[in-house]
Structure 1
């Protein structure tokens, strides 16, 4: 336990930019939870949830409003360790430092770990290490090489955090599943900067997204209320 306590004390406290594209705030690691709760939980297209070890969380991704190169917050998540085991809360188990600057009802998240799921529409050419060539190819063929990239970010922790991300359509006919690590939010968050060198993300091609959204209904089912548009993850 003493070793884990020292590990938390030695975590880098350098601030970083918010990974959401249109948010310009610089955030210290201990303030990420406060920032996330105040800035990135209010919109209807953002899933906000408390999550637990080995417990699934369903997030719905709607690709229709994604602008090229603009990071969007898909989900704001409060990780609480093992359900009903308070000693596994990240701030208590020395996975991460406690959060600061929380007020009122948000104090219940003092020892949770803030995790954001980020999505970005970009191009296959982002995976090129030659950025001059990337820009030239994007200018010529951006509309024919679209991809969606998804990854999770959080403040730095004393050990690596792994997660399973599964994408499926509403009839479970098509699925994609990957196991990845949560990325440090202070690292590069532009896919063009990290796709050539890392693999902690999920990529969906435009054609795959269209396939996931291609839901066929019988005449009888048309009378039923349509589910929320998007792709479950």
Structure 2
């Protein structure tokens, strides 16, 4: 897939397991970049349900909760294709964009793809399907250990965070998050992602991402 939100846009994907702090970090990055005069916007796959910018997703509105619930009940394979479709649509079908814009991808496809592998999907098939999406210029792996993620969830995770265990037990959460983390770690090592410790203060993490983005953009423009 060749579509990107503007030729000069830099795509920054912040990925990690449940409870890593992806939304918190992308929110702070958006505020920091905007305050510094850098055009920036956040993109999440579920934007396609809430915004009028995506008329082709109107069939799914207006109930985001129901859409998420339906996705959770899908089997491995169809669920991944649905989530990757939403990721691609949210990224490429929205009009607008500004020169030099930074597009912050909250999660992008990586976490869901890793989860499907944890459920038993063929890794080669998952990676081949995901390869059709626009490549991120910078991937930040916000790494969180399952025990810490459990504590951040305050003992109230959702079934999809526990490998679809409806009891949402601690053991199922730790097992699923551990399997997901192993996949993300493998990809981070293979593709040279920026790995950050999720226990660090969010402002420190934002500083590290902005510095890495500056280095990456300088390389792209050289």
TM-score bucket (shorter structure): under 0.3
| Structure with the larger strand share | 1
Higher Rg of the two aligned structures = 1
Structure number with higher helix proportion: 2
More relative contact order in 1 or in 2 (CA 8 Å, sep 6+)? 2
Q: Give the structure-2-normalised TM-score.
A: 0.24
